[in-house]
Chains A and B, each alone.
Chain A
Amino acid sequence: KQEVTQIPAALSVPEGENLVLNCSFTDSAIYNLQWFRQDPGKGLTSLLLIQSSQREQTSGRLNASLDKSSGRSTLYIAASQPGDSATYLCAVPMDSSYKLIFGSGTRLLVRP
C-alpha cells in the first residue's frame, strides 16, 4: 500500500531564504509525482508534475526533483517571499490510475 509522508509538517523562514520541502513514498513504482499548493480556505493549485522518467522540473523559483529509487522528492523554493506562505502537498498516483495518494502537507510561513 502506497504511503506518502511529508516532513516537516510546518516550517517558518524569513523572507529571502531558500528552502526545501520533502516528500517520501513507500512504493517506488510510481508513474509521476505532483506538487500542489493550497492557500487557506482555497482549493489546490498544481505547481509541478514530474514524470517517472524525469529527474526534475522547474517553474520560476520552484524546482522539484524526483529520486524514485530512494522514494523521495524535494521541492526547492528559491528566494522565498511572504506570498509563498501556504500548505504544500505532494501526491502520487496509485498504480497507473489517476487515483492520487496525498501526503499530509507542509505548512509554510515566510515572515516579512
Chain B
Amino acid sequence: DAGVIQSPRHEVTEMGQEVTLRCKPISGHNSLFWYRQTMMRGLELLIYFNNNVPIDDSGMPEDRFSAKMPNASFSTLKIQPSEPRDSAVYFCASAGTGVEQYFGPGTRLTVT
C-alpha cells in the first residue's frame, strides 16, 4: 500500500489567495483526520471524518477553513482567504477498524 498520500508537499502563496490541500487515505480506511502542526501549538486536530461524514470540526479555527470528503478515497482542506498565520504543516491521517492512525507526509504551507 502506498500509505496516505498528500498533495502538494509544499505550497507557497500570497495572503488572500485560496489554498486547497488534498489527501488520499489508505484504501479501506473509513476514518480521516486533518491536523495542523506549528512550533507554537504543536499538533492540533482540525476535523475528523468517519465514512465520509464530518463528525467533529471543532478544531477548525475559522470560517475561512473548510473541509470536504466527497468519497472514501479523497478529501480536501481549503483555506479562503489565506493569511500569514495559517503557515504551518498540514497533515492528513487515516484509520481503519483499529484505532491506530497512519499519517501522510504533510503539506508545508507558507503564506506570505
Contact = CB atoms under 8 A, between A and B. Distances in A.
Q: Is the pairing of A and B real?
A: yes
Contact of A102 (B42, B95, B108): B42
A104 B48 CA distance: 21
Interface residues of B, number: 22
Nearest to A49: B100
B96 to A, nearest CB: 11
- Interface of A: prevailing SS: strand
B101 A45 contact: no
Contacts of B42: 102-105
A65 interface: no
Contacts of A42: 105-106
B99 A43 contact: no
B106 A43 contact: yes
Interface residues of A, number: 22
A76 interface: no
A46 B106 contact: no
B100 to A, nearest CB: 5
A102 B99 contact: no
Interface string B95-112: 100011111111010000
Contacts of A99: 45, 48, 56
Contacts of B45: 99-100
Contacts of B99: 31-32, 34, 49, 93, 98
Given A93-B99, A99-B45, 17 more contacts: A31-B99, A32-B99, A34-B99, A42-B105, A43-B91, A43-B106, A45-B103, A46-B102, A49-B100, A97-B55, A97-B56, A98-B50, A98-B101, A102-B43, A103-B42, A104-B42, A105-B42
